[in-house]
């Protein structure tokens, strides 16, 4: 199997408080292509910190992160931004859609940054709207979409660049039960049919039940790692 993500002895210490906070304590992790992995653990266990390190949104205190054959932790900031843009999809708890753009424009935005052609952006955005069941909402702005619909747009946007993997930080936390199940149905289908690699941080049992691998963090360290 192809290893998409690899971390080596990843540590993170936050020193901006009176007492240093050891958020990660030497995490070694490998994620293979096509895995659907949930990272669980109590609040403060390091879930979001780990995702931020893997996604290049924050820098580790020590250790290394590889995406494919590229050591992300060795990239200069400008190259890191470009690498992240082309290789990693993000889904956030708060959706993070651009309010002045329509659903289709939000999905297209990352491709615009990649300087894709207008024709390619249009075709890809329409395809993804179909996949997440929102073709009829293409020209609707976020404030007129439900929370579940906004999160489906966010998933489509994360997939627009055809990333190597998608990181999702508590993506169902703000959704009602039916919206959460609809979102998970879509992501599970994408994982199974298109072999998209998914890495979630979550407290949500609905997500945990769908995952085929569950990693538990406790005090910034991997306490268990179960494949199903």
Give me the pLDDT at residue 1, please.
63
Give me the pLDDT at residue 19, please.
85
Q: Which residue has the tokens 């306490």?
A: 223
Give me the pLDDT at residue 157, please.
95
Give me the pLDDT at residue 18, please.
78
Q: What residues form DSSP beta bridges with 142? A: none
Distance separating alpha carbons of residues 170 and 138, to the nearest angstrom: 25
Report helix angle 118-131 to 147-159, nearest 10: 130
Q: Which residue has the tokens 């297209």?
A: 108
Give me the pLDDT at residue 83, please.
95
Distance separating alpha carbons of residues 4 and 219, to the nearest angstrom: 25
Provide the token pair at 153: 């747009």
Distance separating alpha carbons of residues 228 and 225, to the nearest angstrom: 10
Give me the pLDDT at residue 194, please.
87
Q: What is the pLDDT of residues 83-103, one digit of tens each?
A: 999 999 999 888 999 999 999
Spatial CB neighbours of 18, under 8 Å, sequence gap ≥ 6: none
Distance separating alpha carbons of residues 92 and 47, to the nearest angstrom: 13
Contact 62, 9 (CB under 8 A): yes
User: How many domains does the structure of the chain reveal?
Assistant: 1
- All residue ranges of the chain with pLDDT < 50 are none
Question: The CATH number of the domain where 57 resides is what?
Answer: 3.40.50.300
**Domain residue limits at 54:** 3-227
């Amino acid at each position: 199997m192809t290893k998409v993500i690899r971390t080596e002895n990843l540590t993170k210490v936050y020193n901006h408080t009176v007492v240093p906070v050891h958020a990660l304590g030497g995490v070694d992790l490998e994620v293979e292509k096509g895995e659907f992995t949930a990272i669980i653990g109590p609040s403060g266990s390091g879930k979001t910190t780990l995702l931020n390190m893997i996604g290049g949104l924050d820098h580790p205190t020590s250790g290394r992160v590889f995406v494919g054959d590229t050591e992300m932790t060795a990239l200069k900031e400008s190259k890191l931004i470009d690498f992240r843009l082309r290789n990693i999809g993000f889904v956030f708890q708060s959706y993070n859609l651009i309010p002045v753009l329509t659903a289709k424009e939000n999905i297209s935005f990352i491709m615009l940054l990649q300087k894709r052609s207008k024709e390619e952006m249009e075709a890809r955005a329409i395809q993804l709207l179909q996949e997440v069941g929102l073709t009829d909402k293409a020209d609707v702005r976020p404030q007129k979409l439900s929370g579940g619909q906004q999160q489906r747009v966010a998933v489509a946007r994360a997939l627009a660049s055809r990333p190597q993997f998608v990181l999702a930080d508590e993506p169902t936390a703000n959704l009602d039960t039916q919206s959460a199940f609809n979102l998970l149905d879509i992501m599970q289908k994408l994982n199974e049919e298109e072999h998209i690699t998914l890495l979630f941080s979550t407290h949500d049992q609905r997500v945990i039940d769908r995952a085929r691998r569950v990693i538990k963090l406790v005090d910034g360290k991997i306490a268990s790692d179960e494949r199903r």
